[in-house]
Structure 1
């Protein structure tokens, strides 16, 4: 059988997307998803998403996300933005969306080719001597470094991701360098991909909140430069933590194709 797929990217974070509203695929076919994401033997992607029918009357669709290893994963911010763009392409939505992902409900708006994705509120940011830890839909370790361009992200990121206290469950690992007030560069090692990616949406969100929480910026609109391009994060600080968090950036269709499965 031939499977129709779409390839999308958000600041270089790339995804295979499948319209699964007719339940073509089952969610337990992890070997298939891993093969489709394989850059040598498949299509090649950091992850795979299924756009499915909503489970309630409020939603426009449901987001189901799998890492490149084929396993269903926690929230993917860039993936969510790409799926919103895909839903608009299909005509499922116009310029606003309400959908549910593994971490709960999300809202999004498309404005001038940029997808504004509302993330979950963050009430807790753990501060340590060498890093911060927080969950922005996915777990993130955030640490400041110097000379980020020359940093060994892959090897050091892998060591942190697999070490204490994360071990097998793991954490995404973000290395950050401040460029100017409200502007930061980041490189991210992603679990599930088990490598550095060009961009990570939940990681960019974690970085923006961490920089504000440690007084490295007082701005509530933060620019974060990834290897794949620029993203913005806006938020509001409240007595309960951070709310009204939006991840903002482009999401582009790269191509449409068919593959035997």
Structure 2
């Protein structure tokens, strides 16, 4: 069997780490799901939560397209921390000179801006709150209203949990917990991720509210497990908190890998803005 070499860049956004591949100037066709899994493996590959692929756009108005592959080899719709790394990558590689870049993802076009201080701000678009679009199926679940948010009670083998379904282009279920540092994320995350109310699975968010402008957050991501940070999870958590009248914009989100700043005015038609770091760790070449 013949092999080929792939040039890659290892990056992270608040500890959420990525393998970034230029799919414009090198051929990435024919790479199997098993090969993606091996590349993302932390012992047998490069190691990453997700693999980000830079491609030419297919939609008018976009400068690039980017695809996201989870550590389990499955392609997903959106990755907030990855989008920040994306804009740093295309600028560092000379693929664009623009400080603000329009990037096509599965459901929309994102606007990404590299700030003078090195932080990156992403216009994540409006939150998706309609149950069918998340997608979320209420079935016969118990529900309750918290201000503008409808919470649903999920029954699992680990107990029952009140969650708020929100999508930022990918499905999230946000719950408020008292002490996120000691919360059993490792056991609750997997059963929530695969709950049948979420036909495409979900990213399980565990949010501890510190004040109206500050939260702690851990996220068990579908297909990757718990990550050190989750950009879309931070956005979903802040949206949920604001809709429940428990948070006010802007909100500092403390993740295990670093801090993100999320801004949203509470209007469901207005975009969520996320600002955070994007760091290159190393570059290399791997044979597959």
Pairwise TM-score range, normalised by the shorter structure: over 0.9
Count of paired positions: 256
CA distance in 2, matches of 1:244, 1:76: 16
| 1:46-96, Cα deviation, whole Å (9 max, x unpaired) | 010111112245222111110111111120111111111101111223311
CA distance in 1, matches of 2:64, 2:196: 37
Displacement of 1:30 in angstroms is: 1.6
Q: Is residue 2:232 matched to residue 1:221?
A: no
Which residue is 1:180 aligned to? 211
* Structure label with greater radius of gyration: 2
Aligned Cα RMSD in Å? 1.6
Which residue is 1:48 aligned to? 51
Q: Is residue 2:221 matched to residue 1:190?
A: yes
Q: How does 1:110-259 map to 2 (within 5 A)?
A: 110-111=114-115, 112-124=117-129, 126-128=150-152, 130-166=162-198, 169-193=200-224, 195-217=225-247, 219-238=248-267, 241-259=268-286
Displacement of 1:27 in angstroms is: 6.7
With the length of structure 2 as denominator, give the TM-score of the two structures: 0.85
Displacement of 1:228 in angstroms is: 0.4
Specify whether residues 27 and 86 from structure 1 end up closer, same or farther in structure 2 by C-alpha distance, changes over 3 A only: farther
Unpaired stretches in structure 2, ≥5 consecutive residues: 130-148, 154-161
Q: Is the 8 A contact 2:239 2:266 kept in 1?
A: no
Q: Is residue 2:110 matched to residue 1:106?
A: yes
Specify whether residues 132 and 92 from structure 1 end up closer, same or farther in structure 2 by C-alpha distance, changes over 3 A only: same
Unpaired stretches in structure 1, ≥5 consecutive residues: none
